[in-house]
Each structure stands twice: as C-alpha cells, then as structure tokens.
Structure 1
Amino acid sequence: MGCSLNKQARKKESCRQTFVRALTEKIILLEEDTSEIRRKRGKESEVHEQQVRAFEAKQTGWVYERKRLREEIKQLKKESEEKDRRIQRLIQNNSINYDQHNMTIDEENYKGKDWQHMGASYNYLMMMEHMREEQLRREEAIEKWKRLYLAIKTELDDLIERTCRGGRGYWRVEDETTEELQREVKAKEETIAVLKARLAASEEEGRKMKTEVDILRQSSRIMSHAKRIKNVMRPISRRLRL
C-alpha cells in the first residue's frame, strides 16, 4: 500500500513540476515580450519628441523670416517716401527758381542768351527725366520686394498648414498606435498576473500534496510497525495461554 501511494505521489509531483516549468517559461516569454514593447515604445516616443522639436524650430525660423521681410519692406517703403519728398521739394525749388529767373531777365538779354537758356532748360529737363527714372526704379524695386515677400509668405503659410495637417495626422496615428500598444501591454500583464496566480496555486497545491504524502508515509510506517509488533506478540500470547 505504501509503495503504491509513493508511486502515485511521485507521478502527481512529476506532473505538477512539468506544469510549473511550462508555466514559468510562458511567464518569462510574456515578460520579455512586454519589455520589448516598452523598449520600442520608448524609442518611438524619443523619435517623436525629436521631430516635434525640429518642427518647432523650423516654425520659429519661418516666423522670424516673415518678420524680417516685413521690416525690410517697411524700411524700403520709408526710404522711398523720403526720396519722393526730397524729389518733390527739389522739383518745386527748381521750378520756382526757373520761373523767377525768366521773370527777371528782359527780352533783349533773353534774345542775346538764347543758347544759354536753352542749355539750362535742357539740363533741367534731363534732371527731371533722371529723377522720374530713379523714382520708377525705386517703385519697381519695392514692387519686386513685395511680390517676393508675398510669394515667400504664401509658400511658408502653405508649408506650415501642410506640416501641421500632416503632423496632426501623424500624431493621431501615433496616439492610436500608443493606445494599441498600451492595450497589448496591459493584456500581457494581466495574463502574467493570472499565470503567476496559477503558479502560486500550483506551488501551494504541491506543498499540500507533499504534506499529505508525508502524513501517508508516516501512517504507513506506523501501520507497518504495528503489524510487525502484532506479528511478534502473537506467538508470545499463544505461549502465555499455554
């Protein structure tokens, strides 16, 4: 009987140990998978933060460039207006001086100095033409800068909008991926907790089984000892009866 109990106990203990080993290996694999997911998530978060910082730096540069162009256009406009005022004053002064000069000279002097006055008139006209050309060049330069500024502004606004729109899409996908990974990690952690609970229950069952086997062995030894005593005492009791 004791031998049979020992065989059953050993067989049950062997099955339990096999189950515990398989359960432990499964827990180790799940913990490794969870650690790998967390490591990948940490690396992805770091890359995402770097991209966000790079985008913010570019956006700051764009804002600065737009501000610089606006200031440059304001300065050019201010200089152009100042030159226009100077030209107007010069034109007015020359016109007044020329009219006064024509009023002070008499007809004889004028007839005697036709070529001189014609030369002065020609120089005056050339000066006016030169000032008009200069003003046109300045206006063309300002208009060119305005077109350049508007083109750059439009391009930057479009780039910022596309980047923000793409960034929002990327961040939305990133958030969805993060949530999915978090759900996966949580599910694996719950599975690990269940397996650990089963492992603890199995170990507790193994301890109880070992205790029961020890009790059965002790009972078997006591019964065997009692049987031997009975076998020894039986002849003695017979002799005593005789």
Structure 2
Amino acid sequence: MGGVTSKCFVSSNKELRATILLLEEEIEKSKSVRQQEAWDYGRRTAEFAAKEEEWVRERRSLAEEALEQEAAQRTRRLKKCESDGGDDEEWWCLVESMKEEQRQREGAVERWKKLYLTIKTELDDLIQRTSEGERFSSGSEERMVEQLQKELRESEKEIESLRSRVAVMQKDAIRKDTEIDILRQSLRILSVRNSKRSLIREFLREELVDM
C-alpha cells in the first residue's frame, strides 16, 4: 500500500513540476516580447533624433555657405570700385554695392523663410506621424503590457499554488507512509500476541488432557 501511495505521489509531483516549468517558460517568453517592444520603441526614437540632428546640420551648413558667398561678393565689389577710381564713381559703386547687398539679403531672407517653412512642415509632419504612431503603439503596448502583467501575476500565483500543493503532497505522503508503518508494526505486534495466545491455549489444553 505504501508503494502505491509513493508511486501516485511521484506521478502527481512530476505532472505538477512539468506544469510549473511550462508556466515559467511562458513568463520568459512574455518578458522577451516586452524587451523587443521596448527595443523597437528606442530604435524609432533614435532614428527621429538622428533625422532632426541632420536637419540642424544642413541648416547650419547652408547658413555658413550663404555668409561666405555674401562676404566674397562684397569683397569683389569693393575691389571693382577701387579699381575704377574717382570719387563719384567710387561713391556710386558703393551705393550700388549696398543696394545689391540689400537685395541679396532680402533674397536670402526669402530663401531662409522658404527653407524654414519646408523643414518645419516636414518636421511637424514627422512629429505628428511619430506622435500618432506612438499614441497608437503606446495604447496598444500599454494594454498588452497590462495583459501580460496580469497573466504573469496569475501564472506566478498558480506556480505558488502548485508549489504549495507539492509541499502538502510531500507532507501527506510522509504522513501516510508513517501511518502505514505504524499499522504494519501494530499488525506484527497483534500477530505475535495471537501466536502467544495460541501457544498458551494449546499448552493448557494439553495439560488438561494429561490430567
């Protein structure tokens, strides 16, 4: 009987341990999914930051190039005025140079306005699309994370419950084995007593016959 109890306990214990292992594997898979989602979000954020930095560098490069061209043109005009000679002509050249610089500055301002609006439009569009994607992704990710956390909590509770059941079954098996051993010992004691009583009865019967 004790052997049957031990076999049943071993079988149930193996099944419970297998269930615990499966639940732990599911927990690890859920953690991997959340880590991958976090990595994807970080990658999108890094790409957006890199694109924004590229636009800043492009604007700075264009500004430096425009300043260099303006300075070079101013130098060429002044040299031309000096080479032409004459106060009136020099004054006229300077005035024309100032007018030309003013026109170029106004043209540069207009170009900068267009460039700024173009970049701002693209940036706003990208921010909006990214924000909308993040809101959608964030909402779905939050729901998914909440669901996963709920499943994890339930799985952890189930694991603890199964472990408790394993511990209880171990205690029950030990208690049952102990009870079986006690019963066996009691049976042996009773058997010995019955044997002694049988011998005594037989002895007394023989004594009575002899008398």
Query: What is the TM-score when the length of structure 2 is the normalising length?
Result: 0.72
- Going from structure 1 to structure 2, the CA distance change for 1:78 and 1:161 (only over 3 Å counts) comes to farther
* Superposition deviation, residue 189 in structure 1: 0.9
Q: What is the distance in 2 between the residues matched to 1:163 and 1:58?
A: 12
Equivalent residue number for residue 189 of structure 1: 156
Equivalent residue number for residue 217 of structure 1: 184
Equivalent residue number for residue 33 of structure 1: 26
Equivalent residue number for residue 239 of structure 1: 206
* Superposition deviation, residue 69 in structure 1: 5.0
- Going from structure 1 to structure 2, the CA distance change for 1:57 and 1:145 (only over 3 Å counts) comes to closer
Confirm or deny that 1:205 pairs with 2:198. Answer: no
Equivalent residue number for residue 94 of structure 1: 88
The answer as to whether partners of 1:16 and 1:206 remain within 8 angstroms in 2 is yes
The residue identity in structure 1 corresponding to 2:128 is: E
Confirm or deny that 1:50 pairs with 2:43. Answer: yes
Q: What is the distance in 1 between the residues matched to 2:104 and 2:30?
A: 64
Identical residues among aligned pairs (%) = 32
The within-5 A match list for 1:155-174 is 155-174=122-141
Equivalent residue number for residue 144 of structure 2: 177
After superposition, the C-alpha distances for 1:41-75 in whole angstroms (9 at most, x for unaligned) are 223323332332332232333344445556666x4
- Going from structure 1 to structure 2, the CA distance change for 1:174 and 1:183 (only over 3 Å counts) comes to same
Unaligned runs of 5+ in 1: 1-5, 98-123
Aligned length: 202
Q: What is the distance in 1 between the residues matched to 2:101 and 2:70?
A: 13
Unaligned runs of 5+ in 2: none
The answer as to whether partners of 1:30 and 1:192 remain within 8 angstroms in 2 is yes
Equivalent residue number for residue 101 of structure 1: none
Match of 2:17 among 15, 24, 46: 24
Question: Which protein has the larger Cα radius of gyration, Structure 1 or Structure 2?
Answer: 1
Q: What is the distance in 2 between the residues matched to 1:132 and 1:39?
A: 67
The residue identity in structure 2 corresponding to 1:149 is: Y
Confirm or deny that 1:138 pairs with 2:131. Answer: no
Q: What is the distance in 2 between the residues matched to 1:182 and 1:229?
A: 70
- Going from structure 1 to structure 2, the CA distance change for 1:94 and 1:149 (only over 3 Å counts) comes to farther
Q: What is the distance in 1 between the residues matched to 2:97 and 2:123?
A: 37
SS across alignment from 2:146: helix
Q: What is the distance in 2 between the residues matched to 1:139 and 1:52?
A: 37
* Superposition deviation, residue 168 in structure 1: 3.6
- Going from structure 1 to structure 2, the CA distance change for 1:179 and 1:71 (only over 3 Å counts) comes to farther
The residue identity in structure 2 corresponding to 1:223 is: L
After superposition, the C-alpha distances for 1:24-53 in whole angstroms (9 at most, x for unaligned) are 221121122112222332233233323323
After superposition, the C-alpha distances for 1:204-236 in whole angstroms (9 at most, x for unaligned) are 111101000111111111111111222222222
* Superposition deviation, residue 10 in structure 1: 4.5
The residue identity in structure 1 corresponding to 2:168 is: A
